[in-house]
Amino acid sequence: MMQQVSRQNKIRIVNLNPGCEPSGILLNKIVMFLRVNGYEYTFDTEASCDVVLINSCCVSNAMMSKMKIMISETLEEGQVKKVIIFGCFVPFAEDRGNDARVIMIGPKEAEEFDQLFAHRIPIGHVPAGRLNSRLFRPHQLMDADEDYFVLICQGCTQNCSYCNIKRAKGRITSRSAEQIIKDIQQGLKEGKKNFVLVGDDCGSYGVDLKTDLACLVREIIDACPDIRLKINYVYPGRLIHLFPSLAGSIVSGKIIYMCVPLQSGSKRILKLMNRDYDLGRLRDIVTEIKKIAPSLWIYTHMIVNFPTETMEDLEDTLQAAEWFDDFVLFNYSDNPMTAASRFYPKVEGQEQAQRLRVCMNRIKNIHCGRLDQI
């Protein structure tokens, strides 16, 4: 049994990747758990505190290096009694037992906060759909003040060559429709109408429960007919599979937003990414969605400067981005222990910078999209 944190201890909370929705909703639940159970906390990075909670990330080598530096610097603060590392970095952390003050809690192990903090209300009973803007700045078109966020699943069924999510979280773990609807009903009580279904891949929801996203959406709409749904991170191959059964809910107008992260418009690069789907079929589905539900906003993510990418590949990606209502371009960054980190040649130096300028010029010309570097 780990020694519990006293309510007399002041807690500093740090979030290293505020653009990640699944991470944001989990951290928000932890923060609300601390609040309702009477703990004092701050987001001030300069504040002197007894306990430091760091919401971690493994999205890139640069981010993981930043995590290691932050942990080291935090442990050098003389007054720090505990450093709690939560999130996707935990499975990759080295030398986990070298300092007794360090506590590691993985992204699927949030219930361990019940052991670490004395509480009246366990973390599983804390409503946390309203995300704190100090913790969360979405890449996607969302209004955090108006939206209510509901986690529907964690983990992934895919094996993308550049991604560590599956290593961090394992295969898909879905919450039941009953649990999800209960969260939505709590949001309705709080006056919310827009509900964001959150997952590392919402498209794979239910694979472990012998159901799927289309069934979940129908159950939600039947139980709560006055709501509007936003769905993030639907793997394109899963959208192709689900579209025939999801189309009825799309036509109803209840789904007002969907993020479909295409990642590349180049068939060659998609093969290297280990993302197996038919680009032509996906384009047809996006076009069909715009016909049957013109107000549904479809968003995508693209990765540029992926290893071996040519200017032709980049142009294919920029053209595919324009299939969607809006998009974000992420500059590729090596992710340790992934296959893509071993792909060569890399796009680096002046060539990388030139391509990023091409991306920025395209964004300016079409008045759409943005460029982000993780």
Q: What 3-state DSSP class applies to 193?
A: coil
Kindly state whether residues 82 and 197 are assigned to the same domain: no
Kindly state whether residues 202 and 75 are assigned to the same domain: no
Kindly state whether residues 179 and 244 are assigned to the same domain: yes
Kindly state whether residues 118 and 188 are assigned to the same domain: no
The CATH number for 313's domain is 3.80.30.20
Does residue 154 lie within any of the structural domains?
yes
For residue 66, give both structure tokens. 């930043």
Q: How many other C-beta atoms are found inside a 10 Å radius of the C-beta of residue 349?
A: 8
Kindly state whether residues 189 and 306 are assigned to the same domain: yes
Does residue 360 lie within any of the structural domains?
yes
What is the C-alpha to C-alpha distance for residues 341 and 332, in angstroms, rounded to an integer?
A: 10
Kindly state whether residues 112 and 74 are assigned to the same domain: yes
- Which structural domain, as residue segments, surrounds residue 54? 10-125
pLDDT tens, residue order, the chain (374 aa): 567 888 889 999 998 888 788 888 889 899 999 999 999 999 998 889 999 999 998 888 888 888 889 999 999 998 899 999 999 999 888 665 578 899 999 999 999 999 999 999 999 999 878 777 777 766 655 555 689 999 999 999 999 999 989 989 999 999 999 999 999 999 999 999 999 999 999 999 999 999 999 999 999 999 999 999 999 899 999 999 999 999 999 999 999 999 999 999 999 999 999 998 999 999 999 999 999 999 999 999 999 999 999 999 999 999 999 999 999 999 999 888 899 999 999 999 999 999 999 999 999 999 999 998 76
Amino acid symbol at 53: L
What is the C-alpha to C-alpha distance for residues 328 and 309, in angstroms, rounded to an integer?
A: 18
Kindly state whether residues 29 and 172 are assigned to the same domain: no
Does residue 132 lie within any of the structural domains?
no
Kindly state whether residues 173 and 51 are assigned to the same domain: no
Does residue 344 lie within any of the structural domains?
yes
Give the distance from CA 122 to its chain's centroid: 24
Virtual torsion, Cα 182, 185, 186, 192, nearest 10 deg:
140
For residue 41, give both structure tokens. 């906390």
198 forms beta bridges with 151
CA distances from 357 to 224, 235, 304, 352 (A): 46, 28, 12, 9
Domains identified in the chain, total number: 2
Q: Give the domain-ending residue among 93, 125, 157.
A: 125
Does residue 137 lie within any of the structural domains?
no
Closest CA to 205 of 250, 235, 245: 235
Q: What 3-state DSSP class applies to 277?
A: coil
Does residue 2 lie within any of the structural domains?
no
154 forms beta bridges with 173
Kindly state whether residues 65 and 172 are assigned to the same domain: no
Kindly state whether residues 61 and 199 are assigned to the same domain: no
Kindly state whether residues 115 and 160 are assigned to the same domain: no
Please, what is the angle between helix 349-366 and helix 311-321, to 10°?
A: 30
The CATH number for 85's domain is 3.40.50.12160
For residue 317, give both structure tokens. 């990606």
Does residue 235 lie within any of the structural domains?
yes
Q: Give the domain-ending residue among 90, 125, 160.
A: 125
Does residue 194 lie within any of the structural domains?
yes
